[in-house]
Amino acid sequence: MNRLLIRWLSAYALLLLIVLMPTARAAEPVTSVPELDISRYAGQWYEIARLPTSFQKDCASDVIAHYTLDKPSQLGVRNHCRRTDGGIKSAQGIARPVEGHPGRWKVRFAPDWLSFMPFVWADYWVIDLDPGYQWAMVGDPDREYLWVLSRTPGMDSALFERLTKRAEAMGYDVDALIMSAPLH
């Protein structure tokens, strides 16, 4: 009788746990834009917000990415920011497309002589893009990186909210975003 009672209580506790557990909402898959005109994407972009990254931990403000069309299918990348100590930090790299996926790129900031090593290339997926190329949202399939970019050094708060809701639906932790530029 004691064993039967223990089994019944165990089954009841397990059922109660399952019923009371918050249901996890499955995130949409991270997808990249189906089309990207690299010549229109090239140019200067201002970072509006980002998820924390080790390589940007000392970036306080004025975070800018500048893309140049180096070859028909390669972008030169120059990033810079104002550090917390007031100095300027910059990095140079390149980006190359992932074949068959116009909105997916691989970016490398390591020296050229290391380019044969796969781990020096990071995913750079344009996951949302203004048809007029005035704003972009960039992430990666593992949801570790997320940047909200704009052609201007600020962004409309309603647009920013719409973009972060889209990112959240894809499973990004938008509560952890670091603001780099003002919203208006």
pLDDT at 12: 55
> What is the rounded distance in angstroms from the CA atom of residue 142 to the CA atom of residue 69?
27
pLDDT at 23: 37
- Write the single-letter amino acid at 71: K
Q: Tokens 């104002």 map to which residue?
A: 82
pLDDT at 6: 56
Q: Which of 151, 153, 142, 157 is nearest to 181 (CA)?
A: 153
What's the predicted TM-score (pTM) here?
A: 0.84
pLDDT at 8: 53
pLDDT at 108: 94
pLDDT at 73: 81
| 3-state secondary structure at position 49 | strand
Burial 71-89 (b: 16+ CB within 10 A, else e): eeeebebebbbbbeeeeeb
Q: Strands 101-108 and 88-98, how do they pair? A: antiparallel
Identify the structural domains of the chain with CATH numbers, from first to last: 38-179 (2.40.128.20)
pLDDT at 164: 97
Q: Determine the length of the chain.
A: 184
Q: Which of 119, 120, 129 is nearest to 31 (CA)?
A: 129
pLDDT at 22: 40
| 3-state secondary structure at position 132 | coil
pLDDT at 116: 85
- Cα distances from 33 to residues 102, 126, 130, 158, in angstroms, run 7, 6, 10, 21
Q: Tokens 């959240």 map to which residue?
A: 168
> What is the rounded distance in angstroms from the CA atom of residue 130 to the CA atom of residue 85?
34
pLDDT tens for the chain, 184 residues long, are 566 555 655 555 554 445 444 434 457 899 999 999 999 999 999 999 999 999 999 999 999 999 999 887 889 999 999 999 999 999 999 999 999 999 999 999 888 899 888 888 999 999 999 999 999 999 999 999 999 999 999 999 999 999 999 999 999 999 999 999 999 9
